[in-house]
Each structure stands twice: as C-alpha cells, then as structure tokens.
Amino acid sequence: MSAKFLKIEAAGICFRVRIERPRTYLYLKRRFKNFLSKRKPDFTINFIKPDKDLKISRELFEELANNPQSLILIKSEEKYFFSAKSEPSKTIGFIDRNRNECLLYDLFARWPGSFFTDFILFCFYLFFGYRNSFMLHACGLSQNSEGYIFCGPSGSGKSTVARMSKDSQLLSDERLTISKNGEGFYVYGMPWGKAQNNYAKLKGIFFLNRGKKIAFKRLKPSLAASRIIHDASLFLDTSINANILNLVSRVVDLVPCYEMHFSLESPIWEKMPKLN
Amino acid sequence: MLTLDSCIGRNNDVPWRIIEEEAVLVSVDRGEVIHLNSVGAQIWNSIESKTKVSEIIEYIYETFDVDKDAAAKDALEFLKRLKEARVIDVS
C-alpha cells in the first residue's frame, strides 16, 4: 500500500508527515484533527516502518514502549539524532534543520504513532529556536482575542481554571507557544491536551496556587522570568536556550505576571487585575 | 574541593541574563533555573574566565560593606552552590 500524507500546523509552523502504516495515519489524523493544515509545509517528517538493520532487543523495546522519557536528542554535526537514552547508538529518528527534513521510525505496529508527539516536541523546539518563539507547559485561554496564560505544576489547577472559565476559549490546557510578532507577544494553542489551533495577543501570565480566597500579587520581572523558564520546553541546544532566555526577558518586560491564589468558588475573571 | 586558590569560570553552556539587576541562569542538564538576587548577580557578573576565588572575595570585600572573614565565608558558600548546580567550572 502506498504512503499517505498529513499536514499539521501549530503556531505558524507547518510540517508534512509521510506515513506508511494505515493505522498510524488514522491515529494521527484523529489525534491532530484540530491542527490539520493545507498550507505549504516548513519541514517534512518521514514516519516510516523501521529499517531491517535496526535491531531492537526485547528489553529496549519494552523500555521505549513504557517510558517516552527514555528517549534523548543528540547533536552530531548538523543533525539531531533521536535515540534511546540507554543505547544512544540505536537511532530511531533524526532532525535535519538545514534540509528541513526529519525521519522517525514507526516502531510498533501495535501502538500506532508511538513517540510521534515526543518527536515533534523536539522538532518544534528546534524550528522555533530562531523564530522568536518558544513553548511552555501551561494552560492558555482567550477572551475577546486577549490571551491569558496560567502556569503551575501538575495539580496546581490549570485544567480547573479552564473549566471555570466558561466565557473563554481554550487554546490548550497543556502546552502553548509564546511568539513575538511586531511589538507584541502572542500565545498559541499547541496540539497537546485539549487544544485548539488558535491564538490571541498575550495580556497576562499567572502562576497558580490553591488558596482559600482569590488573590493576585504582581511578580517582579526577574522572578517571573525564572518561573516562565522553569515551565518552558528547553532541550540541549545552548544557543536556542539563550535565545529563549532573551525572549523571556522581553516577555516579562512587556507582559504583567502575577502570583495567583484561588479556590473553586473564586470569581477569577471578576477579580482579575486590570491589565494594560 | 573549592579553596581560595581555585580558579573558576562561568560554564559557557549555561545561558544567563541580568533582569532588573537580578540574574536568571538556566542549567538545562540539571533541569534547574537559578535566580540570583542583586548581590549574587553582581558577584556572578564579576566572574571572568579563570577568576581566582580569592579575587572574588576581594571583590565582595571592596564592593559590599562586610569584613574579610564574612566575605570569604559568603563567597565560598555562594560559589559552592554554583558549583553544585554546574553553572561554574572549577580548576
């Protein structure tokens, strides 16, 4: 059977995926249904059946299948190789930024699309790297085309805030991209968790804490930058990380950041501070 | 082991930035973000490649209103923290 193609777009970056396994195609089409695109791609991913020479032991097979954290990105010359942490010679994919080409082996016929979302996280990191954009683990909401970001560790209430905000549009309850466009910053939903391919002008960033009543405390820029960096998706490339830190320092200069305490009864949007 | 004769330098793989007189350092391999107050940021800024610990102590003694013993104790504690976070190289 011939390969099928999907184009996926998020935060202004579009990639075309060539998929060999029919089940994988159906899985990805459903998984990325809100992010399918028709525009010209910025890069391609060849998502193919593994090479016959790639021998994966049963132990490594189980390690990879059970723990996506067992994968790492290794830079060698101009390519980034996606490999098993315990056996770096076992490359299961690569990203070639110069050629805008990527390859990922679709290892497990029984688990369609394995590692694809982990792989594209690295792809976005590398392709955003020099485009004034970076990703972070947070919940994003849009209200009247204005974007609000809610950060915090698991259990801090990101999804709860999303559920409590009936008049807002969800961008994503798991992963966002902040992008500089002209003089302002914009927040985009990314295809993780519940997500929409939408964006809004960034108005404020809030670091969540559970409390008895609602309270907001403005954070000084250096502290806000540390907190944003803590939640940003950073990997191994020093110059990209330096770009991201530079971008974050401009975000905290322009966008107000607050420590926010709230409870389930809190009228979040009524009490929200006035943001310029 | 960090001594007065140790030479230190900033780890070049650690991006950092001064934001309103305070410093933010990013140690990706440790998954850590280090936030230094204005005093820490000034000391961090004073570290060149191959700076001797004794020179840092001298800098703290001259810049801040502390006696030499306190400067030495504070500097060693501060640099030990930076070393543990692998944001400085020690030789």
* Cβ atoms < 10 Å from Cβ of A170: 19
Q: Is B47 on the interface with A (CB under 8 A)?
A: no
pLDDT, position A1 = 63
Q: What are phi and psi of A228, to 5 degrees?
A: -65, -45
Q: Residue A153's beta-bridge partner residues?
A: none
Higher confidence at residue A21 or residue A110? A21
pLDDT of residue A90: 83
CB contact under 8 A, B24 and A241: no
What is the pLDDT at residue B40? 93
When comparing pLDDT for A26 and A55, which is higher? A26
The predicted structure's pLDDT at residue A7: 98
A125-135 per-position pLDDT tens digit: 999 988 899 99
In this structure, is residue B1 part of a structural domain?
no
Q: What tens digit of pLDDT does each residue of A188-244 get?
A: 999 999 999 999 999 999 999 999 989 999 999 999 999 999 999 888 788 899 999
Backbone angles phi, psi at B43, to 5 degrees: -65, -45
In a domain, B15, yes or no: yes
Confidence of residue B79 (pLDDT cuts 50, 70, 90): very high
CATH number of the CATH domain containing B22: 3.90.930.60
Rounded Cα–Cα distance for residues A112 and A128 (Å): 27
Q: Which residue has the tokens 């790639």?
A: A54
Q: Which chain B residue's Cα is nearest to A246?
A: B17
Count of domains forming chain B: 1
- List all residues of chain A from 110 to 129 with a beta carbon under 8 Å from chain B: none
Nearest residue on chain B to A239, alpha-carbon basis: B15
Domain assignment present for B47: yes
b/e string for A218-249 if b means 16 or more Cβ within 10 A? ebebbbbbbbbbbbbbbbbbeebbbbbbebbb
pLDDT at B48: 80
pLDDT at A155: 87
Tell if the CB–CB gap between A238 and B13 is shorter than 8 Å.
yes
Domain assignment present for B12: yes
Is pLDDT of A249 > 70? yes
What pLDDT does residue A262 have? 92
Picking from B11, B13, B26, B34 by the largest number of A CB atoms within 10 A of its own CB, the best residue to mutate is: B26
Mean pLDDT of A4-8: 97
Residue B27 binned pLDDT confidence (cut-offs 50, 70, 90): confident
pLDDT of residue A124: 95
Mean pLDDT, rounded, for B53-58: 91
pLDDT digits (tens, 9 = 90+) for A53-102: 777 777 787 787 777 678 888 888 889 998 888 888 888 899 999 999 99
Q: Does the residue B78 lie in any domain?
A: yes
Q: B15–A238: do the CB atoms touch at under 8 Å? A: yes
pLDDT higher than threshold 80 for residue B41:
yes
Of B15, B20, B23, the CB nearest to A241: B15
Fold of the domain spanning A133-271: Phosphoenolpyruvate Carboxykinase; domain 3 (3.90.228)
Look at residue B72 and tell me if it is in a domain.
yes
- Asked if the structure places residue B82 within a domain, the reply is yes
Domain that holds residue B48: 7-90
Question: What mean pLDDT is predicted for residues A34-41?
Answer: 97
Domain with CATH 3.90.228.20 in chain A: 133-271
Task: Mark yes or no for CB contact A249/B23 under 8 Å.
Answer: no
Indicate whether B48 belongs to any domain: yes
Mean pLDDT of chain B: 90
DSSP tally for chain A: helices H, then strands E: 7, 16
> ipTM of this model?
0.85
**pLDDT value of residue A58:** 76
Per DSSP bridges, beta strands A13-19 and A43-48 are: parallel
